[in-house]
Amino acid sequence: MNTPINIKVKVNGKEYKRAVEPRLLLSDFLRHDLELTGTHVGCEHGMCGACTVIMDGVSVRSCLIFAVQADGHEIETADGLGTEDALHPLQQAFMEEHALQCGFCTPGFLMTIIPFLRENPNPTDEEIRTAIDGNLCRCTGYENIVKAVKKASVKMAGKAK
């Protein structure tokens, strides 16, 4: 039951090989085994959205997937977005629009919005609100997040992806 299973996962373009217990959640695997702490863990039952990551191009809750299930799949996390010196345009827009205060929910928002903007590079406010309805933020009241997404969409559309 506790016998580790070998998995091979690509995270932010880098391949990792690890042995994991079947019950290990993808969220804990990213944070504890790979030490990629950009993914935050909130409610751990799929309600808050803080642990959202991108798996094979679509956003998913990393607390509702076992690490063994990521074997052979590709994961993107907030760790792979930008650096402190060169923020991703979405991160930059979040900063400029004050779309975060405590920052706990932010990685989940980012990893929800990035695939959304890939699909819909020029969204309306209404579409943005629908897209983020699975992410809770207790600081901002969401208004500035919507503004930031709008701003980032304009900037990112200019750069084509």
Partner 1 sequence: MKPAAFDYYAPASVEEALDQLAELGYNGKVLAGGQSLIPAMNFRMARPAALVDLNNIKDLGYIKEPGEGGLAIGTMTRDSVVEHSKVVMDKAPLVVEAMPFIGHSQIRNRGTFGGAIAHADPAGQLPGIALAMRARLHILKKGSDRWESIDDFFLGPFMTVIEPDEMLAEVVLPPLPEKTGTSYKQVSRQHGSTTQAAIASVVSLDDKGKVASLRVVMMSVGATPLVSSAAEEMLVGQEPSEAAFREIATKASETEIDPSTDMHATAEYRRHATHELIIQSLTCALERAKGKGG
Footprint of partner 1 (CB under 8 A): 1-2, 5, 21-23, 25, 28, 44-46, 49, 52, 58-61, 63-66, 68-69, 71, 112, 116, 130-131, 133-135
C-beta of residue 99 within 8 angstroms of C-beta of residue 87: no
Nearest distance in Å: CB 84, partner 1? 27
Nearest distance in Å: CB 131, partner 1? 7
Instruction: Name the residue nearer to partner 1 (CB basis): 94 or 109.
Output: 109
Nearest distance in Å: CB 23, partner 1? 5
56 sits in the region (left: phi over 0; alpha: psi -120 to 50; else beta) called left
3-class state of residue 53 by DSSP: strand
Instruction: Name the residue nearer to partner 1 (CB basis): 58 or 95.
Output: 58
Edge-to-edge strands, sheet with 58-61: 14-20, 5-11, 74-76, 52-55, 58-61
Amino acid in the structure at residue 56: D
Nearest distance in Å: CB 85, partner 1? 30
Instruction: Name the residue nearer to partner 1 (CB basis): 95 or 127.
Output: 127
C-beta of residue 42 within 8 angstroms of C-beta of residue 61: no
